[in-house]
Structure 1
Amino acid sequence: MEGSQAGIKLEGSKNWNVWKFQTMVVLRGHGLLDVVEGREVKPEAAGTAAEAWASKDAKAQTFLVTRMTEEVMLHIITCSSSADMWKKLASVYEQKTETSVHIVQQRFFQYKYEEGIEMAVFLSKVQEMKNQLKQMNEDISDKLVITKVLMSLPEDFSHFISAWESAPDDKQTYDNLVARLLVEEVRIKEKRSESNQSSAFMAKRFDKKSVKCYRCNKLGHFQSECHSKVDNQNSASSSVNNRHQNFNNSNRKCFYCNKVGHFKSECRFNKNKNNGNAFVVQETFNEHFQQSQWLVDSGASEHIVAVVEQ
């Protein structure tokens, strides 16, 4: 048989289902599957038919033994026909006990999508376990497989799940789910790539190596992050003193009376300023005191006279 050396090698139970599927397809294509599965038996009478069957069986045996490891081959080393080999392999790797069915079902429902795994690999693994259960006469519906897949997806697919649940029932097929998940995987990867590029740009843009602290004048940190032992209070006092030196009396100008030597808030002619203290004048009226005459010009914005007669 041409190409008998190509294809997957049977390594044991871990790849039995995939190997069996591929092997059955190839054997069917070469007209040998009926011989391997025992539906076409060896004729009892010798003749052309018996010789044709023997030729098919020899080709099938060659195909089987060249597609398995030496460890697997030990199980069929005593078999005399391809049908015996196939039946022996099935008995070893397809144990249909209640315990084995329970183990596969548990593995199916516990299987989760993990970060870093390709979506196609995850979906193929789910489908493989479904097929394995089907071979054990424990068929699982596509609707249950869809529910299992959706429950296994991480938080990144939350919007996809919401969109899927709002889709029409006739569109919620397993094949449609597979196609849309593969597209969604590409979209999420592109979004992550853009986010990583943006973060890298921001980190490069705000590199603290070029940042200068205005407290200690050193590079590498902001003033709010400075661990210098400089006393904040002394720094504040120094700043006030510097401002006081820059704005001494000779430079100060009042914007109310346009005179130098004081600020507008200190101007005694400014009636709108807030004075914290009151200037009180007490005097006793007599016949010599004239009401139109002030004793002191305090500069107050308002004047109150209390007349006390004696």
Structure 2
Amino acid sequence: MEESSSSSSATMLKLTASNYSIWKPRMEDILYCKDLYEPLQLLGQKPEGKSDDAWSILNRKAVGQIRQWVDQSVFHHVAQETDAYKLWTKLSSMYERKTAQNKASVIRRLVNLKYRDGRSVTEHLSDFQGLINLLTNMKMVLDDELQALVLLSSLPDSWDTLVVSLSNSVSQGVLTLDIVKDSMFNEKARRKEQSVVAESEALVSEYRGRTNNRKFHRRDKSKVRSRDGSRGRSKTRKDLECYHCGGIGHMKRECRLFK
């Protein structure tokens, strides 16, 4: 039990004004793992057979555990609470408002959520699910197909091929959220692989271009050296050829027939 509770706390985050939908289920897990969930489960009512002192201590432990994971900006709202259930319901009333204005605000954020090329698909799906959870906490449950369509509409124009492909391939025209998620991960992996291949081909092409340039410059320098004779092999007299008589061993100016 101790190892399990330590693992839960290791991944815990502090409650702020914007992460209640994630914080709440994680906090519930910690309270269950530490056997501190009874005051919330019983709606603050002391069970039979438990003394007032034991109940009070259990509440203070639960309150202490909850407030340990509350940000400083939120802490002063619950600083005086000693009853775990009252503390829990106060946080719920602060961050689970179900007014039409708050619902409209979350819906607007969900509709305006857009994926940007180059961003992690996992991060985008996390933002999407966070907004879905906020709506669920407000008793607004979107069915699976509607969630799938909203997620698909968050993709940019560069993903139109995937959108059209999914729309034409689903059975009876009904998309599921899992299908859209899996397709997004597969598309991201495919694009990453294409990018690696293109980069590799560009490097090979650049390497070949440099190699060819080096060979060309070497041949060019070789020709220049041969023409000016600065570094070429010097000719001996037996290699000389007369341009007048065609004889070997002398030049034109030394040729007797020319003279």
- Give your verdict on TM over 0.5: yes
1:158 match = 160
Q: Distance in 2 between matches of 1:171 and 1:29?
A: 40
Does 1 or 2 have the higher relative contact order (CA < 8 Å, sep 6+)?
2
Q: Distance in 1 between matches of 2:207 and 2:160?
A: 32
Query: Out of 64, 67, 85, which is 1:65 matched to?
Result: 67
Q: Does 1:198 align with 2:201?
A: yes
Q: Does 1:176 align with 2:179?
A: yes
1:84 is paired with a residue of what secondary structure?
helix
CA contact (8 A) 1:5 1:67 kept: no
TM-score with structure 2 setting the length: 0.69
Q: Distance in 2 between matches of 1:66 and 1:168?
A: 49
Aligned residue identity for 1:194: V
1:21 match = 25
Query: Out of 79, 82, 99, which is 1:80 matched to?
Result: 82
TM-score with structure 1 setting the length: 0.59
CA contact (8 A) 2:110 2:131 kept: yes
- How many aligned positions are there? 210
Q: Distance in 2 between matches of 1:6 and 1:55?
A: 25
Alignment CA distance shift 1:178-1:34 (3 Å) = farther
CA contact (8 A) 2:63 2:82 kept: no
Alignment CA distance shift 1:34-1:176 (3 Å) = farther
1:79 is paired with a residue of what secondary structure?
coil
Alignment CA distance shift 1:169-1:54 (3 Å) = farther
CA contact (8 A) 1:27 1:33 kept: yes
Q: Distance in 2 between matches of 1:173 and 1:48?
A: 49
Q: Does 1:10 align with 2:14?
A: yes
1:138 is paired with a residue of what secondary structure?
coil
Aligned residue identity for 2:37: L
Alignment CA distance shift 1:132-1:81 (3 Å) = same
Alignment CA distance shift 1:64-1:57 (3 Å) = same
Q: Which ranges in structure 2 are unaligned for 5 or more consecutive residues?
A: 215-259
Query: Out of 122, 125, 138, which is 1:123 matched to?
Result: 125
Matching of residues 249-260 of structure 1 within 5 Å = none
1:146 match = 148
- TM-fit CA distance, 1:118: 0.9
- TM-fit CA distance, 1:128: 0.9
Alignment CA distance shift 1:115-1:26 (3 Å) = same
Q: Distance in 2 between matches of 1:92 and 1:205?
A: 65
Aligned residue identity for 1:177: V
Matching of residues 1-310 of structure 1 within 5 Å = 2-3=5-6, 6-36=10-40, 39-42=43-46, 48-165=50-167, 166-169=169-172, 172-206=175-209, 210=213
Q: Distance in 2 between matches of 1:65 and 1:109?
A: 34
- TM-fit CA distance, 1:70: 2.2
**Structure with the bigger percentage of helix:** 2
- TM-fit CA distance, 1:135: 0.9
- TM-fit CA distance, 1:154: 2.9
Residues 126-164 of structure 1: CA distance to partner in whole angstroms, max 9, x if unpaired? 111011011112221221111111112234433332332
Q: Distance in 1 between matches of 2:64 and 2:34?
A: 13
Q: Which ranges in structure 1 are unaligned for 5 or more consecutive residues?
A: 212-310
Residues 4-30 of structure 1: CA distance to partner in whole angstroms, max 9, x if unpaired? 853323241221111112112232344
Alignment CA distance shift 1:163-1:34 (3 Å) = farther
